[in-house]
Structure 1
Amino acid sequence: MVPTLVGRIQTRLFLLAVVGGIVTALITPLLPADLPMAQRYQATYIVLAAVAVLGVGWELLYHLLQQWRWEKDWPMLFGLVTLVPEGLLVWALASRDLLPGLPGPVPTPAFVIHFVVVWLIVWLVANGPMRVPFIHWRFQGGQLT
């Protein structure tokens, strides 16, 4: 099964909202930051939302690049490695205060820990447990509906 563009977008948004939201709620208090807890949560959820919104644009770019591949799909490792350009873009926006709603500068260690942990867990769920409760997901081009 080759995931369709719509299927990849749906899966990305679903996993970031559900899995990313839960992971963010759990790790935010543990992140190294000198912000009050409410502002920590605000910052981490804004970063998560930015990853989701910008991710739709990334999926369009990835779809274009995949058209030159024989299988018209990424190997699983490419899906993992895409954390680098996506993380760098979100970090560049966050560090320049270009993400609306951020309560202040996001400390680099906190950003890196949050982004990498959420990305890895979402990637692992997409490539493993996601296939159990959503049996037809694989056969519908990755679409959840």
Structure 2
Amino acid sequence: MIPTLAGRVQTRVFVLATVGAVLTALLALVLPVSFADAYLVLLAAAVVGLGWEVLYHLLMQFRWDKDWPTLFGLLTGVPEGLLLWVLLDLGLVPGVEGPLTWWAFAVMFAAVWLGQWLFVNGPMRVLFVRWRLRGGRVV
């Protein structure tokens, strides 16, 4: 499957809204972060991620197969997480009120990122067979 930009965006939003929302709720129970702040960080990750999708799509145009190797898809979480942390640290994410420690953010971001990556590369390929055939589009 060669994902289209629309497919990548739809997949990201769908997986963050399902798998990401469940993992965020579970992590908010054990981490020193309020549910409101946890979901605002998840929303900020979705918004920042949409910008990254455009950048990744442009970069993929230079690859002969127009797609990332699977490991690159996992490692793209590093620059996304760093950018999101900088935005949070500078207070540029509106609505986040409580103090968010770097380690709580790192645990939350890494767990949600890994969870969504595992879901997209495992169960989603089985549960949504047409997703693979339609360039990653969910709808």
TM-score by length of 1: 0.93
Shift in Å, 1:27: 1.2
The equivalences for 1:32-111 within 5 A come to 33=32, 40-111=34-105
Asked whether the equivalents of residues 137 and 143 of structure 1 are also in contact (C-alpha less than 8 Å), the reply is yes
Where does residue 119 of structure 2 map in the other structure?
Answer: 125
Identity %: 55
SS in 1 for 2:91: coil
Q: Deviations over 1:30-79 (max 9, x none)?
A: 11x2x6xxxx1111111100110111110000011001111111000011
Name the aligned partner's letter for residue 88 of structure 2. Answer: A
Q: Deviations over 1:86-128 (max 9, x none)?
A: 0001000111111000013311111000000000000000000
SS in 1 for 2:99: coil
User: Does 2:136 align with 1:142?
Assistant: yes
4+ long deviations beyond 2 Å: none
Listed as ranges, the gaps of 5+ residues in structure 2 are none
Among 93, 105, 109, the residue aligned to 1:115: 109
Where does residue 19 of structure 1 map in the other structure?
Answer: 19
SS in 2 for 1:21: helix
* Length, aligned pairs only: 139
For residues 49 and 27 of structure 2, what CA distance do their matches in structure 1 show? 22
Asked whether the equivalents of residues 95 and 105 of structure 1 are also in contact (C-alpha less than 8 Å), the reply is no
TM-score by length of 2: 0.97
